Structure 1
Amino acid sequence: MSLRPGGGGRRGRGEARRGKYKKGVDLVEARRRREEGFVEIRKDKRGDSLSRKRRLVFSSSEDSVNIQGAESIYQGSLACHRHGVGISAEFSEDEMEKISEMALWLCSEDQAQQIKASTYFRKITSLEETGPIDLVIKAGVVPRLVHFISRNDLQAQQFEAARTLVNITSGTSEQTRVTVDDHDAVPNLVQLLSSQNEELREQAVCALGNIAGDSSTCRDIVLANGALIQLISLLNPRSKLSMLRTASWALSNFFRGDPVTIDYQIKSALSVLQKLLYSNDDTILENACWGLAYLFGGTENQLVDIFDGDGVITRLVQLLMHPSPAVKTVSLKTLANISAGDDSQSQVIVDKGVLSCLLQFLKSHDHNSSIRQLTGRIISNIIAGNHSQVQLVIDSKIIPPLISQLKHAEFNVKREAAFVILNATSRGTFEQIHFIANQGCIPSLCNLLGSLDSEVVAVCLEALENMLKVGEAEKELGNEDGAVNVYAQEVDDCDGLAKIEDLQLHPHPAISHAAIRMLERYWEEDEDDNDGVNEAGEEDKRDEGDDGDNSADAQTTVR
């Protein structure tokens, strides 16, 4: 199929040019075609409505949380901090010999040597670099460290060994797996949770949190060894603040990764998370929200009914107004995953008043791009639901400030706003799409057609095509603009048509095919009609002859 010229002539303006859009047809036939067309659109779009809803993807090996197809959003620390004095990471031959000597001391029966060696290994594994951890592992001391944490009669060695294992499990996944797979440290660490020494309990919590956060496999090993119930018991008012912070963080990691099976232990943990949501400490609040975000992040989200009865969703919506940006952000992430469920789950958060909070985020200049990006994500998930949910978003007056974000915000925010427009025009009624199209979103969507992000380009193209379908139906019904597809005209007026022409050569087949399809359907001139104009009566010739430039344009421009 031949490509249309990327015509500079298309950038001109004038009534003669606008008159080239396809003329209207019989009114009754137009209404029938419009109704049939929208029934077909609804059938096509219903099948992929859930695929339009997007969850957050939580990496199990990185200190970040990603939105599918978008930039990373900071999560916070995945691992407990290492315990040490920050000595140099450069190891000379003498220092390598020192590691070998300390390994022998650790394995000796001399308790003074054991204490000195265990303290030494705790210090060198505290370095930011992971190299020293590898050296310690290669020295063969991990089995001895695992042995010491079970020795309640050797408290100094036990404490230093526990701190060293915290450092090792805060390293790479391979280093963590050495303690789990090769030396079976988890059972001994779980036993430490019931130690009489609170500091030892806290070190065990930290190590188990590191292990659980490494991968779903490691997490399942921790859960299988009964760590969850014991951890929950530590989250009580009698525990000191540092324990509550560490234990709430570890609890969130127990839900990280692949979805966990909802059994009686998990339900007990949910009850604890609910209480933690009312903590006065921002760190504990943030950790509790992370646990919920992980739980809601599975592909089969079955927890909304459980939480709704306990008022957890209500509390999450309330936390959107919390003064801490970190608490706001993770609450948004949790609600974003809830909104990615089916229509009834999205409706739960709507019923709790989330839309009014999201409106404030869009209208205020005080919130960072991450908060506004997540705001757009939730709105796009809600509006991907049914017609009544589309109308609820419209009635909340969210669309105008959202389109302002589409025009002026950072790219990651614009990206989410584009998804909102796509989902609204995919799921909405004729009247709802008409409303969206008349809010000024078309120029901003056309501007994004030049993006290097192929997904954004595809989203904008589809949203524009949805509006063009409505414009075509309105034209066939005989609108007030002289039977012109007003949205096709607006795309042309803001130079979107030239960008769509350029997209015919896009390397992504779906984008190039969509561009060609749109050009043929909404801008291709009917050659027979042009021939008819040339052979028309004297009155038509006089109309075209009034402007020589427009006449020449009509002869040279192929649409």
Structure 2
Amino acid sequence: SVHSCTKETSPFDPLLIESKTAATVVLMLSSPEEEVLAKACDALYKFASKGDENKVTLLGLGAVEHLYKLISHEDPVVRRNAIMVFGIMASNHDVRKLLRELDVTNSLISQLAPEVRALNVIPPLLELLKSEYPVIQLLALKTLEVISKDRETRIILGESKGLDCLLKILETNEFSDLHVEALAVLANCLEDVHTLQLIHQTGGLKKLLSFVGVSTVPSIQKNAAKAITRAAYDSENRKILNQEEVEKCLINLLEVDNDGVKVAASQAISAMCENLASKRAFGLQGIPQLVQLLSSDNEEVKEAAVTALANLTAASPSNASAVAEAEGIEPLVNTLNAQRDGAIANAATVLTNLAMQQPFRVNIQSRGIMSVLEEPLRSTNSQVQSKAAFAVATFGCDADARTELRSAGGLGPLVELLHSKNEEVRRNACWAVMVCASDELTAVELCRLGALDILEEINLSTGCKNNFSEAALEKLLDNNLSQKYSQMGYLSSSNIIADGFYDCGQIKPGVKFLSLEELSMQELTDRRAIIFINAKPQEE
């Protein structure tokens, strides 16, 4: 018999593939196997290097889009081989056009970050900044921006006089088209205390802030504010920025006619508030501008401004007074109807910070705060729920405010929050119920809505009970003495029995406590009589 000696051929065999098998190899770029991907890229590299016609063939087969996904692949060999194919194909005009559309440059630059440092690439990159070709300067800056996200690289950049180089670009008007990118590199450097101190000591920080002060380019102003925000996450950085009076710069940015700049400046103020000296400085000058921003048509601006006010007024009575003096109370109450959850939560926070001072609390209550809080109490966002319940606890110490909440239908959603799985929401809701249970009408309504049953359930669970849950239950029972006596079997010395009290005997846990009306509708039985106290003289 004749045996067949032919063996199967793969598209990689021989590696110099022909046009007819190129389509098969391009399909293999979707393989989940790293070895297949690496070999496919290698084969395409050899195919593309044979001439321009082959590059056009690969372009038509969609190879560029597949390779684009592979340049950020987790396997370094696959990454390298894919980038090599791009390198050879980029000599074709049509391929270059598609690479620009896909914005491949930024992806390629990001691949440099891990190895640059090791290659000591910073000095040659700084040399490229002196190039007479703007496109080379731009790419050098973009590369520096990516690699300066690494702390060690930032130190090398400082030691290589790179910071001076970047500041010179900012000081030179002819380089205005490079200012945004130069600022982006400096923004990375500001995050690092060591580098920020270096810029500060050489007078660079003063130059940078004055550059931002005179710039009229919104993207530069916005990026500068974002850089300050990132730097301000570190306490040492905040001290340095405060020494350079960064507050003046940020307050000026609040008045720029650009929403993005206003948002970024407000966020930077929020971050700098952690420094007490900054907090005082903003209180003296920045609060009126932030209050004005509460009336912005832009919801993002509104949210950023009210968040800054929440940070400024936290544990600062003088800043709270400044908000009230800037006529901020009315716009703050209006912000409780904002569209963004962050704006609503922070508006509630500012109002509770102001309410620590009696005259402001009275002013806020006169604007119907309790009826406005009814909607935030129904929110599905736990931050909004928590802050709204906290506000109810703050303002609920006033009898008129409790009546207002009851009339607005706010007790129902408040009781619902007792069910929350979020510990902070549950605690604040318990606190609010405890405060609102101070008068009998509200306590009775809370019991009717099921608050007692839920609180009993909470208190039985060691994981759910909190400082306020037991106190809230006791307060509710103290204003429902008939139920307290029925459930507990005793009353305390401060509990005064009045007309309307009835004793229906002790009920077992889990059994519903019936109202007097419900009991009166039951048929007579031979069980013990229900004792009802009614000392009023009967009318004729």
Bucket of the pairwise TM-score, normalised by the shorter protein = 0.5 to 0.7
What RMSD over aligned residues (CA atoms) do the two structures have, in Å? 4.1
Q: Which residue of the other structure, out of 323, 327, 332, is the alignment partner of 1:311?
A: 327
Q: Secondary structure at the match of 1:85?
A: helix
Post-superposition CA distance 1:252-279 (Å, at most 9, x none): 434356574545x643311211222222
Q: Which residue of the other structure, out of 195, 207, 224, is the alignment partner of 1:188?
A: 207
Change (3 A) 1:373 1:125: same
Aligned length: 393
Question: Which residue is 1:504 aligned to?
Answer: none
- Is residue 295 from structure 1 mapped to residue 312 from structure 2 by the alignment? yes
- Is residue 101 from structure 1 mapped to residue 124 from structure 2 by the alignment? no
Question: Which residue is 1:440 aligned to?
Answer: 450
Distance in 1, Cα, partners of 2:295 & 2:495: 56
Q: Which residue of the other structure, out of 233, 244, 252, is the alignment partner of 1:225?
A: 244
How far is 1:243 from its partner? 3.1
How far is 1:142 from its partner? 6.6
Question: Which residue is 1:354 aligned to?
Answer: 369
Post-superposition CA distance 1:336-356 (Å, at most 9, x none): 4434x2444433322222211
Change (3 A) 1:194 1:409: closer
How far is 1:464 from its partner? 2.0
Distance in 1, Cα, partners of 2:163 & 2:462: 51
Code of the aligned partner of 2:456: C
Question: Which residue is 1:14 aligned to?
Answer: none
Change (3 A) 1:281 1:435: closer
Question: Which residue is 2:158 aligned to?
Answer: 141
Q: Which residue of the other structure, out of 291, 294, 298, is the alignment partner of 1:277?
A: 294
Change (3 A) 1:397 1:116: same
Code of the aligned partner of 2:207: N
Post-superposition CA distance 1:404-450 (Å, at most 9, x none): 3324786654443212123335xx35776566555531101122224
How far is 1:107 from its partner? 6.9
Q: Which residue of the other structure, out of 237, 252, 264, is the alignment partner of 1:246?
A: 264
1:370-449 equivalences under 5 Å are: 370-383=383-396, 385=397, 389-390=401-402, 393-394=405-406, 396-407=408-419, 413-425=425-437, 428=438, 433=443, 436-437=446-447, 439-449=449-459
Distance in 1, Cα, partners of 2:344 & 2:269: 20
- Is residue 461 from structure 1 mapped to residue 470 from structure 2 by the alignment? yes
The 8 Å contact of residues 329 and 370 in structure 1, kept in 2 or not, is answered as: yes
The 8 Å contact of residues 299 and 340 in structure 2, kept in 1 or not, is answered as: yes
The 8 Å contact of residues 446 and 494 in structure 1, kept in 2 or not, is answered as: no
Post-superposition CA distance 1:370-407 (Å, at most 9, x none): 32332212112222x45565555445542233213324
Change (3 A) 1:417 1:210: same
- Is residue 164 from structure 1 mapped to residue 185 from structure 2 by the alignment? yes
Distance in 2, Cα, partners of 1:115 & 1:138: 26
Code of the aligned partner of 2:182: A
Q: Secondary structure at the match of 1:139?
A: helix
Distance in 1, Cα, partners of 2:164 & 2:440: 70
Distance in 1, Cα, partners of 2:205 & 2:463: 44
Post-superposition CA distance 1:472-517 (Å, at most 9, x none): 259762775654698xx5866379xxxxxxxxxxxxxxxxxxxxxx
Q: Secondary structure at the match of 2:161?
A: helix
How far is 1:161 from its partner? 3.2
Structure possessing the higher radius of gyration over alpha carbons: 2
Code of the aligned partner of 1:493: V
Code of the aligned partner of 1:460: S
Question: Which residue is 1:10 aligned to?
Answer: none
Code of the aligned partner of 2:193: R
Code of the aligned partner of 2:385: R
The 8 Å contact of residues 142 and 183 in structure 1, kept in 2 or not, is answered as: no
Distance in 2, Cα, partners of 1:216 & 1:342: 30
Change (3 A) 1:176 1:102: closer
Q: Which residue of the other structure, out of 227, 237, 247, is the alignment partner of 1:207?
A: 227
Q: Secondary structure at the match of 1:477?
A: coil
Change (3 A) 1:114 1:352: same
Distance in 1, Cα, partners of 2:324 & 2:126: 53
Change (3 A) 1:494 1:419: farther
Change (3 A) 1:277 1:430: closer
How high is the TM-score relative to the length of structure 1? Answer: 0.58
The 8 Å contact of residues 157 and 163 in structure 2, kept in 1 or not, is answered as: no
Q: Secondary structure at the match of 2:296?
A: coil
Change (3 A) 1:483 1:109: closer
The 8 Å contact of residues 222 and 261 in structure 2, kept in 1 or not, is answered as: yes
% identity of equivalent residues: 14
How far is 1:295 from its partner? 0.9
1:316-327 equivalences under 5 Å are: 316-327=332-343
Change (3 A) 1:387 1:321: closer
Distance in 2, Cα, partners of 1:480 & 1:146: 81
How high is the TM-score relative to the length of structure 2? Answer: 0.60
Change (3 A) 1:344 1:168: same
Question: Which residue is 2:484 aligned to?
Answer: none
How far is 1:315 from its partner? 0.6
Q: Which runs of 5+ in 1 are unaligned?
A: 1-83, 170-174, 496-541, 545-559
Change (3 A) 1:181 1:296: same
Q: Secondary structure at the match of 1:278?
A: coil
Q: Secondary structure at the match of 2:450?
A: coil
How far is 1:226 from its partner? 2.6
